[in-house]
Chains A and B, each alone.
Chain A
Amino acid sequence: MPKDDGIGASTKRREDTRFLTGNGKYTDDINLRGQTHVHFLRSDVAHGRIKGIDSSAAEAMDGVLRVFTAADFDSAGGIPCGWQVTDKHGQAMQEPKHPILAEGKVRHVGDPICAVVAETYAQARDAAEAIEVDIEELEPVIDMKAALGADAPKVHDDLTSNLCYDWGFVEENKDAVNAAFDSAAHVVSLELTNNRLVANPMEPRVAVGDYDPWGDSHTLYTTSQNPHVIRLLMGAFVLNIPEHKLRVVAPDVGGGFGSKIYHYAEEAFCTHAAKVLKRPVKWTSSRSEAFISDAHGRDHKTKIELALDADHNFTALRTETYANMGAYLSTFAPSIPTWLHGTLMAGNYKTPLIYVNVKAVFTNTVPVDAYRGAGRPEATFQIERLVDKAARELGVDPIELRRKNFIKPEEFPYQTPVAVVYDTGNYHATMDKMLELSDYAGFEARRAESAKHGKLRGFGIAHYIEACGIAPSNLVGQLGARAGLYESASVRVNATGSISVYTGSHSHGQGHETTFAQVVADMIGVDANSIEIHHGDTSNTPMGMGTYGSRSLAVGGSAIVKATNKVIDKAKKIAAHLLEAAPEDIELKDGKFSVAGTDKSVDWSGVTLAAYVPHNYPLEELEPGLEETAFYDPSNFTYPSGAYGCEIELDPETGKIDILRFIAADDFGNIVNPMIVEGQVHGGLAQGIGQALLENCVYDDQGQLLSGSYMDYTMPRADDMRGFTVDHSCVTPCTHNPLGVKGCGEAGAIGSPPAVVNAAIDALHRAGHTHVTHIDMPLTPSRVWAAING
């Protein structure tokens, strides 16, 4: 096996050549003959009743082909939600219709009202300004708690209230949890906000719909993390197009971070309008439009409490969270604050009793759904901030308090009280590794040096657990998922031995084209350059449920392993025939088949050629050819974990925080490409630090987005990030997937926010500002200064 491109090698990303030279092919690069352009006229008020739409002037303008309104979608379904949550009373969540274009009411700034299709984009946009929409403004609901008031205006008139669901987990444990609090030696509590974020992938969303009247077939090119899911949702639930008549292509996609998982109205619009107009219809989002139409992330308000006994063992945890759904239910929105959040509330600890309550609330804001980490950052932030606060209140070392309550290495597999079973982990090892790499022992000297310059230095820690590799289909089905969560792959070996792998998993920055090839190269022992990875087109790849939740290698990679093993099994039978030996005696090593204990061998291409030129071939027993497909449905989640350390300097005069060092010691299980893993952690840290210090999506009380551009929404920049040390040498392999991998894509965004905030609180306390027990993210200079002087 070539050492330089198998499992464990830091092979350079093959896709980067085209990306870095500007030769990627993105959706906006696709321009079809006869293409038209759509501009969506979007609501500029948060809540209103549509009294009338007069588009006659617009329709008469140059180049305008048609103005669409909700009436044009009478026969279409609404944008579906992919997950039904059952509330604590056993009732299904309230699920409003999400029309493609607003029906009767607008429910958030950015809600599309009309769509103008014209020969050019400029013509469409000009015409949209000539449309007169008569809107009766209604009082909006923006604040979640106010939205649940008895007299609050309703976002959806046909629902009983703005409460989507009131979820209790585990509801049966509630009384026992409360009893544990009543008898606790110590109770620590914290109220906090997990700030709303806008994903802001570098490439805004784009959709191009195309229709072939001769075949009555549709093609949608779209910026998606999961083209198969879009085909299923849009075809089956929205436009009533059977799969064999609908092709969805997600070519190169410039980042998603969750925001490109969901099926969006613009995709259904372009697909449908292309059929109506019999011409391709293209939509390219502007950045301004992205802020008010891409699903947002996070936006939780939580009260969390921890009970401890006299020896500082955690005895119970309970939380009450308000989770913002926005105006409509985005594809996976209901699952984020529940099954991707409540099930992680044990963290790394042996807390025996846990009760999580989540109230999901409709407001007149953009829909909220998964964003890198999705539910797990919210859980981790609560737990790790609270444990830090507990250590401070009890006067004990935050590291020791964590260690005391960690699940011990010998206690795996570990059944938590919140349903999930952690298969492996060693939290003591990752904590030790982080402290070693951070030179924790030298902190005091560095702090004294900072103090000489008037700066407050602090060190914050956090330890996280996440559930990745989602997920066992039968389990998620019980939890309300309306889809399975397997992956699949086809491995097509060509006659001369080169290999084309077709995966259902999409790559939009993760480097699959490199790592998946490394896996196959390693298994067979051939050069990775003889392997091509194909993804993103439903017409030539097998079914895939999507790239999110750090699941592509753990689930999609496992499907590739399964398919490759099938290929190897068959190839061994062919080799056995060629070598006149029994298949069980055939060994495959470094791309060569040999008969055990002999010098008889045939190389890989000898076998593959025989498969396609079957002159000397056991045709009565084996089909010609060498191509196999496999589906993989995981038996459990994977549980990456890690210890994060953040060292900051805080300027007490201005409140500005500078990250000086950030140490991430992760246990991702086995690693295929360490360089790519390091890059994934860097990206996750950038977004986690962004959430902690910089990013904030803010609405005013009328539902106007105050942070609607980069003038006010602070994206992390390179000079905000310094001193990253990333380690993944602590390895406890996953026990239930063939690669022993756990996933690394979200870790940085999950573990870093509490580490940053803990560091800030640490710096303030060491300097005597002990009245500051919490600051809500983002810790902007203004907020930090106000906290110090408050």
Chain B
Amino acid sequence: MYNFDFVKPGSVADAVAALAGEDAQPLSGGQTLIPSMKARLNAPETLVSLTGIPDLVGVCREGDALVIGAATTHAQVARDAAADFPGLAALAGQIGDPAVRNRGTIGGSLANNDPSACYPAAALGTGATIVTDRREIGADDYFQGMFATSLEEGEIITSVRLPIPQASAYAKFVQPASRFALTAAFVARYASGVRVAITGASENGVFRWAEAEAALSSDFRADAISGLSASAHEMIADLHGTAAYRAHLVGVMTRRAVAAAG
């Protein structure tokens, strides 16, 4: 790790101001940034911690949505979302290990947009709204491919507003070593229809599986999509699975999520 300056502002406004400095990066739970700094793959001049801003932490229900502060840890979401949105709480409870869940945050995960992360599936699968210091971004516009989002330089996620579905579940098949998602499906059923978001599989990051959404919107049963298969085109191929295997898992995990959602 190289030397860096560390600031811990107490408000979003101060954080935004600090991020305007030369080569400053926001630090939330640090579950990706810190290891990459330790490996000397990332060397910000200044780290702006977002964990000292009370407004960014907490889970609360607002009407038909659950609003989660960006600096809320996975462990807190697993606990505090359980009553209102069990599918989301279960997803949060499967991220990493206890140490990761007690440090990592929803905002950090969404800002990083790792193609194998869990939260992007929940955000896209619910059609969440990403609230930042300057605007609101719909999930369908937010995710821009592997490690890419529509966040601007210095823009901070402050909260995430997730519409609470009638039923939902997350089915995750883990990459054996990292236990990130090798392929995972988040399925959410709303009065308006069903959304299916797939993470871990695509070279383009999290994506919606439109064919499955259409089929499930008219018949919310696993069998309704048994004939569907995702294309292996632009699926990730690595040590842990071929593109064809991931494409196959898209179907398997989606069906399992539907079955679990009931």
A: residues with CB less than 8 A from B are 126, 288, 653-656, 694, 696, 698, 706-707, 710-715, 780-782, 785-786
B242 touches A698 (CB 8 A): no
Q: Are B176 and A694 in contact (CB under 8 A)?
A: yes
Which chain A residues border B209 with CB–CB below 8 Å?
A: none
* A655 partner residues in chain B, CB cutoff 8 A: 245
Is the CB–CB distance between B245 and A714 below 8 Å? no
Beyond A654-B173, A654-B249, A785-B248, whether A707 also contacts B178 by CB under 8 A is: no
Smallest CB separation, A716 vs chain B (Å) = 10
**Beyond A654-B249, A782-B245, 14 extra complex contacts between A and B, CB < 8 Å:** A654-B252, A707-B239, A710-B177, A711-B178, A712-B177, A712-B178, A712-B240, A713-B177, A714-B177, A780-B241, A781-B245, A782-B240, A782-B241, A785-B248
11 A-B pairs in the complex with CB atoms less than 8 angstroms apart: A694-B177, A706-B239, A710-B178, A712-B239, A713-B177, A715-B177, A780-B241, A781-B173, A781-B245, A782-B242, A786-B242
Q: Choose among B39, B178, B245 the residue that contacts A785 (Cβ–Cβ < 8 A).
A: B245
B31-47 near A? 1/0 per residue, CB < 8 Å: 00000000100000000
Cα distance A653–B222 when bound, in Å?
Answer: 14
- Cβ of A288: which chain B residues have Cβ within 8 Å of it? 39
Distance between B119 CB and nearest chain A CB, rounded to angstroms? 18
Chain A nearest CB: distance from B223 CB in Å? 14
List B contacts of A656 (CB < 8 A).
173
- Per-residue interface assignment for chain B, residues 223 to 243, with 1 indicating a CB less than 8 Å from any chain A CB and 0 otherwise: 000000000000000011110
- Tell me if A's interface is mostly helix, strand, loop or mixed: loop
Report how far A785 CA is from B176 CA in the complex, Å: 15
Who on chain A is nearest to B253 by CB?
A654
Measured between beta carbons, the chain A residues less than 8 angstroms from B240 are 712, 780, 782
Q: List A contacts of B245 (CB < 8 A).
A: 655, 781-782, 785-786
| A473 CA to B248 CA, complexed, in Å | 57
Nearest 9 interchain pairs by C-beta: A714-B177, A782-B241, A714-B176, A711-B178, A782-B245, A653-B252, A712-B177, A706-B239, A785-B245
| Candidate in B173, B176, B241 with the most chain A CB atoms within 10 angstroms | B176
Q: How far is the CB of A284 from chain B (nearest CB, A)?
A: 14
Residues of B with C-beta under 8 A to A786: 242, 244-245
Q: Which residue of the partner chain A has the closest CB to B256? A: A653
CB interface residues, B 131-190, toward A, < 8 Å: 173, 176-178, 182
Q: Are A780 and B176 in contact (CB under 8 A)?
A: yes
Query: In whole angstroms, how far apart are the Cα atoms of A653 and B252 in the complex?
Result: 7
Contact B239 A696 (CB under 8 A): yes
Chain B proximity of A463: nearest CB distance (Å): 29
Contacts of B239 in A (CB 8 A): 696, 698, 706-707, 712
Residues of A within 8 A of B241 (CB): 780-782
Q: With both chains docked as a complex, state the minimum distance between the C-beta of A44 and any C-beta of chain B, in angstroms.
A: 13
User: In the assembled complex, how far is the CB of residue B237 from the closest CB belonging to chain A, in whole angstroms?
Assistant: 10
Task: Chain B residues near A714: list those with CB within 8 A.
Answer: 176-177
B183 and chain A: residue at smallest CB distance? A654
Minimum CB–CB distance from A619 to chain B (whole Å) comes to: 66
Name which residue of chain B comes closest to A656, CB basis.
B173
A135 CA / B30 CA spacing, docked (Å): 36
| Chain A residues whose C-beta falls within 8 Å of the C-beta of B249 in the assembled complex | 654
Complex contacts, B244 vs chain A, CB 8 Å: 786
What residues on A are CB-neighbors of B176 within 8 Å? Answer: 694, 714, 780-781
A700 shortest CB reach to chain B, Å = 10
Q: How far is the CA of A780 from the CA of B239 in the complex (A)?
A: 10
Q: Smallest distance from the beta carbon of A631 to chain B beta carbons, Å?
A: 45
